[in-house]
Structure 1
């Protein structure tokens, strides 16, 4: 009986290996100067393996966060006419709950060294728009007027993304992202749901 051959890295570790390789390269040579080929060489996997896990270099940074946002958007859409402040917060809060230091946190903390300032600004704006739009839609479903709904959506999206940025910049893992988010929400207390 022949031993089973092992082709490539174990599937469970390839995603993490690629992310680690990408972050190392972003720190060493900058985001723009790093190609997907550079990342796959460093990780010791094929280019097709990269695309099994990520759609782009940017996705290396944002994929875990985006998965959380996707889940929150589903939860927000399910609220329908039952949307209110506590229900919306409960739908959005899992985005920041138990968020461990990851490539995005490393990028936020080292944006200048990685040459990521503009990329992060653009990509943060896209996430802000997604969260804001979903919260505003939930508010409108509950009967809140357009302008107030848009303001609430933008405020909650800003609370999520600002909390994440400040937490990462202060040293992810050194403090609680949930506490940062609570602080951000208290900062917008003058915008009650109704």
Structure 2
């Protein structure tokens, strides 16, 4: 059980959540987009949201600024969160501007708001769960997506609910967070996506 719960935290690490949301969108959206466009977007996002943060992590670890990929202390979180905010701004400017795929544009606006909120809390020495921020943001985006396109994706939503519960259980079991930190994380990811629904639904 310990191995399983550790695996949940690793497999559903926050770093992969934005890309999963984008893949989910392209796989479920009824809107036509050419294969070349989809490939270009996914490749760009893979580089910016996964490869670049991993390289940044190893650089910060070499410099002694962080110890593990889970960013266990508030001090360790500040620089990666700041860098992540800059990466999201780059995505919004170059990869997913508002005039191309409006749904994903506002998803990343919500992700940026969540990231800045988490950064502000880290500076205030409060450690909200980044795992919960990531999964709850994707979960709410999927709900909004189903409403927007009037698509029945109840199976996908049920699976996301199970994954959300598994991540919360994993973080509690590993003593990485308190229940309060998990709840804060959930709402920091969830609320911006709810608010931004008004701009694209």
Alignment TM-score > 0.5, same fold:
no
Q: TM-score, normalised by structure 1?
A: 0.30
Q: TM-score, normalised by structure 2?
A: 0.29
Structure whose CA Rg is larger: 1
Structure with a larger share of its residues in helix: 2
Point out which structure has higher relative CO (alpha carbons under 8 A, 6+ apart): 2
